[in-house]
C-alpha cells in the first residue's frame, strides 16, 4: 500500500522544506504549497486509522515500522483504542507540504480539538458510512465553521457490509450544507480513496497567510513534559521566522527563554534551522514548568516583539471533582509528586490537598469529565505505582449565604450549615443527543427523570433525530452516558457544553455510623432524590460493614432529620449455653448483664470501616 515515486515529495533532500534557504517548490510564494489540516470526527469513526494510512501512503513511515494507531503514544490510548492527546505530523504529497493534526473524539477532550483548529486552515470531517452523523460530528463541524475553516467531508468505512454512503451523504448535505457530490468515499482501513482525499485537501484547503519579514508571532497549541529535555511545545508560526538560538518572549507568561531546538515531526522528530510562516513544528527552550508554555501562549522575539499576542483559548475548566486518597497513608507524598508530574503532561487536571476523618490525607482533584477522571486515575496507578481510593464524583456548586457572601463548594464537607444558606446554584449543560427515531420516547423519559428541560427536537431524516436538553451537570456525571447507551442499544450519541447556572433545591446528606458522621460518604443531591439516595447508601453499607460486638445503626440525615436507617446487628455470645433447666430468673440475670455490657460498649465503641467497604461503597452507582 505504500507508494514510492512521484507522489512522495518528502525525500531526504527536502526534509527541511526550505527552512535553510532552499525553495519548497517552483512556486514564487513558498506558502502556496503548505496545507494545515486537522482530522475531526466522532469517537471511533476512524481518525487514527486514517492518519496511519496517510503516513503509509506518503511514505513518511516505513512499511516495516508501521503499526496501528501510529500517532497514539500512550499505552492507555492503544489499549482503549482512543486518542487522548492531539498529535501532529508533517508529510509530503505531490509537491505539497501537509501538516496533519490527529485529534481526540471523546467529548471530555473537546478542548484538545479547539486548540488544534486554531492552528489550521481546514479540516477533514470524517463520518462513519454505517452510522452517519453523530453528536460530536456536529459539535466539531460547528467549531470548524466558527473558526472559518474549509471543511472537506469524507464518508469512511465504505468497505463495511452495513455501509450506506448515499443515504448518509444526503444527511450531511441536509444538516451541514456540504454538497453530496463533494463528499468523498473512503476506507481508512483498506486505503481505498485516501489518495483522492489528499488531492482534495491540496485543492480545497487554502494555503496559510503570513509575512516572513513581520515580527515573529507563533501560537503554542500543545505542550508535554519530557523528563530529559523539559517542556516540548507544538507551535504554529503565523508571522515572522522562528530560528534556533533566538531569544523568545512568552507574551502571556511574561518570561524570556533561549531556543535550544526547533524541528518538525516526520513523524520522527527532526531538528531544522528555522520555521517560517504557516509552518507547524516543535519548540524546546529548556522550560521546566508547563504553566510557562501553556496552550494558547504567543511566542515572539525578545529583541523585536510583536505588537500584540494572538487570540489564545479559554483555559479548560474542570467540571467534575473527586477526592483521591492513597490506600496506604504513607504514600501521600508519592501521590503529591505523581500529580505534579502528571499535571506537567495534562494541564487540565487541578488538585488541592484535603483531609478526611475517614480516609486521611488526600487531594481534591478537578477533571473535565468522567472519562478524563477514569484515565487520570488509571495513569496515576499505572505510571506511578500507586493504589488509590476515589470518592464519589461531585460537581461545583455556588452557595449564597444569608450574610450576602458566596462560597464555591467543590466538596460536600464544604457546604455551609442550612441555617446560613440563602440559596444554592448548580451548573447546567446543554446536551445534544442524536439517535434513531424509535428511541425518542425512552430518551425523553431518561432526560426528564434527570431533571432535564427540552430545548428543541429536530428530525435529521426519516430515521434519525436530534434532541437538545438543558440538564444539570450533576445528573450527567454519574451514569447518564451508560443509561443513554443501554436504553438505545448503543445507537445514541451525546455531546454537551456548559450552559450557565441555576438555583436549585439541593440538600447535603450525611451518613452516620453509630451517631458519628463519616465525611467520605456525604453527598449533595436534589431534594426529590434525597430519600432514595439515603436508602440506597444505608442498605449498601449494611452489607459491607462487618458485625461488631454491639448494634451499629447506619443513618442517612439531612440537617438534623434522619431520612433512612439500617442496623448491623451485634454478634452475640450464647451466655445461656451452660444453663440447662433451672430457674428462669438466673437466665434473665445473665441476659441483662450481657445487655448492660453491650450498652456500655456501644457508648465507647468505635466502628472500624474496612478499606474494602469504602472502595465498594464509593464505586460509581453500581
Binding residue numbers? 44-49, 156-159
Element (H, E) at 515: none
Asked whether 215 and 301 are in contact (CB, 8 A), the reply is: yes
Residue 469 φ then ψ, to 5° = -125, 145
Distance (Å, whole) CA 120 – CA 205? 10
Distance (Å, whole) CA 26 – CA 168? 40
Nearest Cα neighbor of 594 from 580, 608, 575, 607 is 575
504: β partners: 424
Distance (Å, whole) CA 225 – CA 210? 29
Asked whether 87 and 39 are in contact (CB, 8 A), the reply is: no
Complete DSSP assignment for 547-561 = P-SS-EEEEEEETTE
Asked whether 58 and 8 are in contact (CB, 8 A), the reply is: yes
CA distances from 302 to 212, 247, 262, 273 (A): 17, 6, 17, 19
The CB-side HSE value for 409 (13 A sphere, CA atoms) comes to 26
Q: Which three cell numbers stand for residue 445?
A: 423519559
Distance (Å, whole) CA 1 – CA 250? 43
Residue 253 φ then ψ, to 5° = -75, -20
For strands 280-284 and 274-275, give the pairing.
unpaired
Residue 139 φ then ψ, to 5° = -60, -45
Burial 557-575 (b: 16+ CB within 10 A, else e): bbeeeebbebebebeeeee
CA distances from 566 to 512, 513, 543, 551, 555 (A): 11, 10, 10, 10, 7
Distance (Å, whole) CA 444 – CA 447? 5
408: β partners: 398
Distance (Å, whole) CA 189 – CA 49? 6
Contacts of 13 (CB under 8 A, 6+ apart): none
**Angle, helices 47-57/194-204, rounded to nearest 10 degrees:** 90
Helix (H, G, I), strand (E, B) or coil at 223: strand
- At residue 192's C-alpha, the angle toward residues 187 and 198, to 5°, is 95
Is residue 353 classed exposed, middle or buried when 0-12, 13-18 and 19+ CB atoms within 10 A define those classes? exposed
For strands 122-128 and 150-156, give the pairing.
parallel
3-state SS of 571-587? CCCCCCCCCCCCCHHHH
Which residues participate in the annotated binding site for GTP? 44-49, 156-159
Distance (Å, whole) CA 145 – CA 458? 21
Q: Output DSSP code: residue 540.
A: H
Amino acid at each position: 500500500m505504500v507508494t514510492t515515486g512521484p507522489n512522495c515529495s518528502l525525500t531526504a533532500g527536502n526534509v527541511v522544506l526550505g527552512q535553510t534557504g532552499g525553495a519548497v517548490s517552483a512556486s514564487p510564494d513558498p506558502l502556496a504549497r503548505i496545507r494545515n489540516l486537522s482530522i475531526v470526527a466522532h469517537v471511533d469513526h476512524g481518525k487514527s486509522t486514517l492518519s496511519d494510512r496517510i503516513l503509509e501512503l506518503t511514505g513518511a513511515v516505513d512499511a516495516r515500522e508501521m503499526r496501528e494507531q501510529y500517532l497514539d503514544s500512550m499505552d492507555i490510548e492503544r489499549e482503549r483504542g482512543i486518542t487522548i492527546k492531539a498529535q501532529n505530523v508533517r508529510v509530503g504529497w505531490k509537491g505539497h507540504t501537509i501538516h496533519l493534526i490527529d485529534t481526540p473524539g471523546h467529548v471530555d477532550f473537546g478542548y484538545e480539538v479547539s486548540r488544534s483548529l486554531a492552528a489550521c486552515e481546514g479540516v477533514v470531517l470524517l463520518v462513519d458510512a454505517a452510522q452517519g452523523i453523530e453528536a460530536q460530528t456536529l459539535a466539531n463541524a460547528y467549531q470548524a465553521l466558527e473558526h472559518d475553516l474549509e471543511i472537506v467531508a469524507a464518508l469512511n468505512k465504505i468497505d463495511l457490509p452495513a455501509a450506506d454512503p448515499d443515504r448518509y451523504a444526503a444527511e450531511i448535505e441536509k444538516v451541514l450544507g456540504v454538497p453530496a457530490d463533494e463528499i468523498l468515499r473512503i476506507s481508512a482501513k483498506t486505503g481505498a480513496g485516501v489518495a483522492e482525499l489528499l488531492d482534495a485537501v491540496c485543492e480545497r484547503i487554502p494555503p496559510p497567510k503570513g509575512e516572513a519579514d513581520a515580527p515573529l508571532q507563533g501560537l503554542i497549541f500543545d505542550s508535554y513534559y519530557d523528563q530529559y529535555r523539559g517542556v516540548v511545545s507544538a507551535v504554529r508560526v503565523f508571522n515572522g521566522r522562528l530560528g534556533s538560538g533566538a531569544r523568545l518572549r512568552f507574551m502571556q507568561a511574561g518570561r524570556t527563554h533561549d531556543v535550544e531546538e526547533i524541528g518538525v515531526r516526520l513523524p520522527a522528530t527532526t531538528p531544522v534551522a528555522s520555521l517560517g510562516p504557516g509552518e507547524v513544528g516543535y519548540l524546546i527552550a529548556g522550560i521546566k514548568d508547563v504553566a510557562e508554555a501553556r496552550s494558547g501562549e504567543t511566542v515572539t522575539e525578545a529583541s523585536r516583539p510583536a505588537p500584540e499576542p494572538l487570540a489564545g483559548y479559554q483555559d479548560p475548566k474542570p467540571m467534575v471533582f473527586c477526592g483521591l486518597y492513597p490506600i496506604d497513608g504513607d504514600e501521600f507524598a508519592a501521590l503529591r509528586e505523581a500529580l505534579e508530574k502528571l499535571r506537567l503532561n495534562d494541564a487540565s487536571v487541578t488538585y488541592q490537598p484535603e483531609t478526611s476523618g475517614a480516609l486521611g490525607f488526600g487531594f481534591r482533584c478537578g477533571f473535565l469529565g468522567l472519562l478524563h477522571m477514569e484515565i487520570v486515575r488509571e495513569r496515576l496507578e499505572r505510571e506511578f505505582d500507586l493504589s488509590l481510593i476515589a470518592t464519589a464524583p461531585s460537581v461545583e456548586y455556588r452557595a449564597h449565604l444569608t450574610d450576602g457572601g458566596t462560597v464555591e463548594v467543590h466538596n460536600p464537607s464544604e457546604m455551609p450549615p442550612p441555617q446560613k444558606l440563602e440559596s444554592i446554584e448548580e451548573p447546567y449543560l446543554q446536551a445534544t443527543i442524536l439517535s434513531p427515531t424509535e428511541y425518542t420516547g425512552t430518551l425523553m423519559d431518561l432526560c426528564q427523570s434527570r431533571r432535564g428541560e427540552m430545548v428543541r427536537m429536530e428530525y435529521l431524516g426519516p430515521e434519525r433525530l436530534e434532541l437538545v436538553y438543558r440538564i444539570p451537570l450533576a445528573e450527567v456525571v454519574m451514569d447518564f452516558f451508560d443509561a443513554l447507551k443501554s436504553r438505545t442499544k448503543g445507537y445514541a450519541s451525546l455531546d454537551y457544553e456548559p450552559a450557565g447556572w441555576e438555583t436549585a433545591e439541593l440538600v447535603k446528606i450525611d451518613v452516620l455510623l453509630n451517631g458519628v458522621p463519616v465525611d467520605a460518604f456525604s453527598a449533595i443531591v436534589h431534594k426529590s432524590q434525597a430519600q432514595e439516595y439515603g436508602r440506597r447508601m444505608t442498605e449498601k453499607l449494611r452489607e459491607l460493614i462487618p458485625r461488631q460486638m454491639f448494634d451499629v445503626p447506619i443513618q442517612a440525615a439531612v440537617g438534623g432529620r434522619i431520612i433512612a436507617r439500617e442496623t448491623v446487628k451485634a454478634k452475640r455470645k450464647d451466655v445461656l449455653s451452660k444453663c440447662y433447666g433451672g430457674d428462669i430468673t438466673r437466665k434473665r440475670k445473665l441476659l441483662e448483664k450481657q445487655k448492660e455490657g453491650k450498652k456500655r460498649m456501644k457508648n465507647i465503641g468505635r466502628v472500624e470501616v474496612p478499606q474494602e467497604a469504602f472502595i465498594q461503597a464509593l464505586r460509581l452507582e453500581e
